[in-house]
Structures are given as C-alpha cells and as structure tokens.
Amino acid sequence: MELLSNLGLGFSVALTFTNIFYCFLGVVLGTLIGVLPGIGPVPTIAMLLPITYALPPVSALIMLAGIYYGAQYGGSTTAILVNLPGESSSVVTCIDGYQMARQGRAGKALAVAAIGSFIAGTFATLVVAGFAPPLAEVALKFGPAEYFSLMVLGLISAVVLASGSLVKAIGMIVLGLLLGIIGTDVNSGLQRYTFGIPELSDGIGFVVVAMGLFAFAEIIINLEHRGHREVFTDKVSNLMLTWKEFKEVLPAIARGTGIGSVLGILPGGGALLSAFAAYTIEKKISKEPQSFGKGNIRGVAAPESANNSGSQASFIPLLTLGIPPNAVMALMVGAMTIHSIQPGPQVMTSNPQLFWGLIASMWIGNLMLVVLNLPMIGIWVKLLQVPYRLLYPAILVFCCIGTYSLQNNVFDVVLTVVFGVLGWIFVKLECEPAPLLLGFILGPLMEENLRRALLLSRGDPTVFVTRPISATLIALAAILLIIVALPMIRKKREEAFHEEAA
C-alpha cells in the first residue's frame, strides 16, 4: 500500500502541465539525438546542463532522464535504416536490424524495436520503484567509511567494465580523481594544483569537463568519418507485427528485459553492456544460431529490450546510493548538484516529490515514445539526410554559449576546448573518457568521506576494514580487480570488447 501511495504522489507530480511538457521535450530530444549518428545522450545532456539552471529541479531531471532513455529508442532507427548506431548501445541492433531492412523488412524491425523498448522500459520502471526504497533504507545505515568503500567499489567496477586496456582505464580513473581535487581545499583554505591561475581557485567546472570530453571530442572524431550513407527510406512499411511474429519475439523481449534490469545496476554497465549480453545469450540459446547476423528478428528484439531496461535500471544506484553507474548518470549527479540536491538515500526522504515524480515520469515518457516513434519514422529518416557540415557548427556554437553562460567567463570556453582536444587524444590512444568523468565526479566525495571517516576514528585507518559493511565492499573491490587481472579472464574480456567493437 505504501508503494501505491508513493506512486500516486509521483503521478501527481509528473502529470502537471509543466512536467509533462519537459518530459515530452526530453523524449523528443532523446529520439532526435539517438537518430543522428555520432552525437549520443552524453554530449547532449552535457550541452543542456546550463539550461537546467533556470528550471525547477524535478522538471530538469525529468527532461534529462527522457533524453537518456529516449536516445535508446532513436538509436535503433539509425541502426536499422543506415547501419550506423545513433547511440552506442544500438551497435548490436545494426547486426540483424540492417539485414532486415535490406530484405525489405525495415518496418518489422522498427516495430519490434519500439514494442520491445516499451515493454522493457515499463518493467524496468517497476524494478526501480520496487527495489529503490529498500535499498535506500540499507544505504541510510552507511557512514563515511562505508560510503568511501562503496565509491572505491564503484570505480573499480567502472574500470573492469570499461572497454580497452585495464591499465589505461585505471589511469583514466586516477586522472579524473586528480582533476577533481583542483581548487581550494575546504579544510585548510590552501589552493591545490591551480598553478597561480585565479580562475582555477574554485576548481574545474563539471559542465566544462563533460562538454569538452564528450560534445567537442565527439564532433572532432565524427568530422574524420566520411562515406556514403545508404538509407532505406522507400522500404519502411508494414509497421505491425503478426501474432505469430509477436509470439516469436516475446521470449526474447522478456530475456532482454531481465538481463538489462540486472546489468543496468552495475557500475560501468548500463545500456551498452546489457544489449551486448542479451544478443550473445539469445544467439547461444537459439536452435538456429547461424540465422543471427542475417536478419533474425530476435536479434533486434533482445538488445533493444535490454538497452532500454538497462538505461532505466541504472537510476537505482544513483537515486539510492548516490553512485553514478555510468557517464550519463554522472551527468545527472551534476544536474542534481546544480540544484543543491545531494544524490543518495536522503533524496527519498527529504525530497519525495522529486524521487517519485522522476519514476512516474518514466512511464509517461515510455508511452510517449512508443506513440511518437512509429508514426514519425518519415521525419526521422529526413533528419538522417541533414549534412553534418551544417549540423556540427551549430552544435559547437550552442556549446560555447552554454559554457560561457555558466559564469560569464571566457576562460571556461577555452578550458572546454582544451578538454575537447584531450578527449580526441584519449580516443586516439584508445583511452575511454567515461572512467575519467566518474573519477572526476566521485573524487571530491571520496576525499570528503575519507577525511570524515578518519576524523571520527581519530586517525585510525583500520576503520575501513573493521566495520563489516565497509570491509565487505573493500573485499569485493579487491576480488574484482584480482579476477579481471588474471591472464585468462583478461584475454576473454579483451575478446568480448573486440567482438563488440567489430
């Protein structure tokens, strides 16, 4: 009964005209950037963070959340029609979705992607509503030592699940932690790593780092790619599944939804890992594995369901523990911080309207998406024909205006450009920037909880291993790092990410 009353509160917040409008705006923007290859939700949310200053906190988070799970819907359109993943988690959808389009079954592929996404999104929202409250109650028992150990586990998990070299991922985490402590030390008042630059005395802005590493870097990278895009515009028909086809894909949708709901919670996981795992499992249990990659409809249903449920399940650690499991959730932490909201279990008790309003908006957003996507296929296809030479300069101008508007400071724009070049260099060196962003977000929080734990224990460092919950989290982090460092596991991991990239 308590859950029903909480959901009633959530719907009363989400169904106001203002929040419905921002939910609609979020899912439309999400679908738009999902359709356009090479942009994605991370750069878009980074670009829109300055706008959220002027919005109510609930409306801002509802819009940003809509962009995230809306991009999962839109990414499938490009993957199926152009063989380009509009969003990273749609890379698996290209394998069978594009082959279906070549066979004249683009409508069926788009339909199963929309239906699977809606079912998965609805179920994942139920998971968030059901599991978040008890998990938040457990989190309320956490002290500074437990929070520090939890953040260590989160960073180690992000390292393990990051693609590419393990050493490079650890290096990016450490670099993010170092960037996070630039500025004035709260306790001593001394400036750290500012190099005499007055603008760095307050630290580096979160928006500056996010926009540079993702928005600017993505544009630079995409400008290098040239090639003809074959768009199947004249074959998008038969957008309804037959009953036989629906019965065929329903088990795949159910399995993909379950996999995404579990893997989405893991730090570093989310939509991409969920989609890859769902496709792999579907292929292994199939009686005709050779049909995958040749237009098997289950090869579209499973990853599309998984990436949507994974994207929404990733809100659980953010809302209950205050730990962002991926780069998009790290941006959501930034949005909450902008509005002076401390992510974690206190959100549910101190601001229940925000917590339950955000959850309820996910149902509304998923309903909007399934209604919007199929009838508007023609519009999305037209957008695929927009020349990038017109699109990218407009995005860059918008980014610069947004960055400057934060503090009316040209130095922030220059710093964003610097991080954009760094992001491009990181990609060339095969260093994933997402762990750096997680380290940058969690660094100050880790330092704060480390100092607080040592202060309460009177300088005794064993407090992290003598408290049961903290010791368990530290042990899990150590075991995870040792396991992934084993030669056999490391080889399998590299093979998996190589197959995913291919």
pLDDT digits 0-9 by tens, 450-485: 888 988 888 888 888 888 888 888 898 888 778 777
pLDDT of residue 38: 59
pLDDT at 22: 92
How many CB atoms are located within 10 Å of the residue 405 CB?
15
- Which is higher by pLDDT, 153 or 135? 153
Cβ burial, residue 274 (10 Å; 0-12/13-18/19+): buried
Q: pLDDT-derived band of residue 20, with 50, 70 and 90 as boundaries?
A: very high
Please give the Cα distance from 180 to 200 (Å, whole number). Answer: 11
Distance, CA of 302 to CA of 120 (rounded, Å): 10
> Are 156 and 292 within 8 A, CB to CB?
no
Say which residues have a Cβ less than 8 Å from residue 301's Cβ, sequence separation at least 6.
Answer: 112, 113, 116, 249, 252, 253, 256
- Angle at which helix 434-456 crosses helix 327-338, to 10 degrees, equals 60
d(CA 67, CA 55): 16
Asked if residues 123 and 309 have their Cβ atoms less than 8 Å apart, the reply is: yes
- Span 402-421, average pLDDT: 83
Rounded distance, CA 256 to CA 115, Å? 13
Q: Provide CB contacts within 8 A for 346, sequence distance 6+.
A: 140
- For the entire predicted model, the pTM comes to 0.73
Residue with the bigger pLDDT between 299 and 159: it is 299
Q: For position 21, what pLDDT does the model report?
A: 93
Q: Note the pLDDT of residue 500.
A: 46
Predicted pLDDT of residue 88: 61
Q: In this predicted model, what pLDDT tens digit does every residue of 203-256 receive, in sequence order?
A: 887 778 877 887 788 777 777 765 555 555 555 566 677 777 778 888 889 998
Decide if pLDDT at 268 tops 60.
no
C-alpha to C-alpha distance for 274 and 410, rounded to whole angstroms: 40
Cα separation of 163 and 145, whole Å? 30
- What whole-number distance in Å separates Cα of residue 26 and Cα of residue 258? 25
Say what the pLDDT of residue 501 is: 47
DSSP class of residue 216 equals: I
Averaging pLDDT over each range in 210-219, 310-319, 320-329, 470-479, which range is the top one?
470-479
CB 50 within 8 A of CB 402: yes
Report the range of poorest mean pLDDT among 335-344, 397-406, 486-495: 486-495
pLDDT for residue 384: 66
Please calculate the CA angle 330-332-338 and round it to the nearest 5 degrees.
110
Domain residues of the chain, as ranges? 2-501
